[in-house]
Amino acid sequence: MPKIIVHAPEAAFDVKARRSIVGELTDFALECEALPKSPFVKSTVWTYFNLYDQDTVFMGDMTRTFLHNLNKPHFRRLLM
């Protein structure tokens, strides 16, 4: 069954955003694996968020906090 690991700065996602993303990632993973989207099969998909302190995530030679306002994270949505 699918296992998903998300690496992100600590302030990148609030609880509501994490729940939304997990739902989309779960559906996407089941679609990729050609598995049914039944409640039982969904319960077998594990998603882990590895959150890092803001000053430990770098883009190039700058910490993440210098590049963008953390209230509006710089992420592209790749799921369709």
CATH number of the domain where residue 39 is located: 3.30.429.10
Q: Which tokens go with 54?
A: 């803001």
In a domain, 25, yes or no: yes
Count of structural domains, the chain: 1
Q: Which tokens go with 9?
A: 């700065």
Task: Give the whole-angstrom CA distance, residue 76 versus residue 57.
Answer: 17
In a domain, 76, yes or no: no
Give the domain extent around 38. 3-67
Q: Which tokens go with 79?
A: 């799921």
- Extract the runs of DSSP E, i.e. beta strands, from the chain: 3-9, 46-52, 58-59, 62-63
User: What confidence tier does 56 reach under pLDDT thresholds 50, 70, 90?
Assistant: confident
pTM: 0.67
Please give the backbone phi and psi of residue 76, each rounded to the nearest 5 degrees, phi first.
-95, 145
Q: Which tokens go with 70?
A: 């953390």
Q: What is the structure's pLDDT at 23?
A: 92
